[in-house]
Structure 1
Amino acid sequence: MQLSPTDNLILELLRENSRRSLTEIADIIGLSRPTVKYHVDKLIETKVISRFTIEMDQTHAASVTTTRAMFDLRLKRNTCSVVYASIQRWSEVVSCWSLTGDIDMRILLEAANLDVLEELRDRLSRHPEVIDVTTSIVLKSWREKA
């Protein structure tokens, strides 16, 4: 999809603050709220925008109790797209990659606790295309980029 100058401006404003209201964006760029909504809806529909998120300062981030893990999958065939289709709506999935080498697919998840991660791991291990799931729990994050 070819992005218009308006699309690029909206994306830049949302990168700065993903919680900006459509009204605020409209005021900043001088367009009507319905026009901005049309552009945002189009960006979501065409998957230019895949999710809205927030960043927290370290003081508050430390108080949020989530558990992060990586699931490394070995698959029967080159069926990453099939496996991804079955997990793409899981709210716990942060990122998902197809890889070269011994591991076919890596999934980064963030869950409320280990019980949730265990349940998701069990579901994945029963998937007909999955041979093996190896789990690595993230102990500490030293650096992350969006």
Structure 2
Amino acid sequence: MTQVDDIDRQLLSMLHADGRRTFSEMAPEVGLSVAAVKRRIDRLRETGVITGFTVQVDQTKLGLGIGAFVELSCTGSTPVGEIVRTAYRAPEVQAVFTIAGDPDALVQVRVRDIEHLQQVIDGLRRAGHVTGTKTLMVLGSWTRES
């Protein structure tokens, strides 16, 4: 496990809020020089604490206003890799979480409307190893920053 201190946590929180934030913007907030902030961010990247920088997209503005989680149950001998490949064949799938117990995976999807959701679920159900699904509609979401 990589050692991080309070300043590292502050930097991570700032980058989580805005991944485009510059070292010179962060330096005064943590009381370090720009070079020291750069060294810390570089170390966090080299040790794998920071795995990349991404953009957050408002899916509703792209016409994908409905979010859902689909529980997938598969035949007992289905390898984890096949479960993930099955789910990712649908472009509406945002993430796949393989989990212990029953069901085998939790699949996050974004769709236009209920009819579109039904089509995605039908497609998942037709996949070779899927034996059942259960769908949970998202009503709202909140994310912890760090």
Please say whether Structure 1 and Structure 2 have the same fold, judged by a TM-score greater than 0.5.
Answer: yes
Distance in 2 (alpha carbons) for counterparts of 1:40 and 1:120: 39
* Higher RCO (C-alpha under 8 Å, 6+ residues apart): 2
Residue 36 to residue 47, structure 1, CA distance change in 2 (3 Å): closer
Distance in 2 (alpha carbons) for counterparts of 1:145 and 1:75: 29
The structure with the larger Rg is 2
Count of residue correspondences? 133
Structure 1 segment 1-146 matched on structure 2, within 5 A: 1-5=1-5, 7-15=8-16, 17-19=17-19, 21-23=21-23, 24-29=25-30, 30-32=33-35, 35=39, 38-39=42-43, 41-42=45-46, 46=48, 66-77=65-76, 79-84=79-84, 87=88, 92-93=93-94, 96-101=97-102, 103-114=103-114, 116-138=116-138, 140-141=139-140, 144=142, 146=144
Distance in 1 (alpha carbons) for counterparts of 2:92 and 2:28: 32
Q: TM-score, normalised by structure 2?
A: 0.56
Question: Alignment identity in percent?
Answer: 13
Shift in Å at residue 50 of structure 1? 7.2
- Is there any run of 5+ residues in structure 2 with no aligned partner, and where? none
RMSD value, Cα: 4.2
Residue 108 to residue 65, structure 1, CA distance change in 2 (3 Å): closer
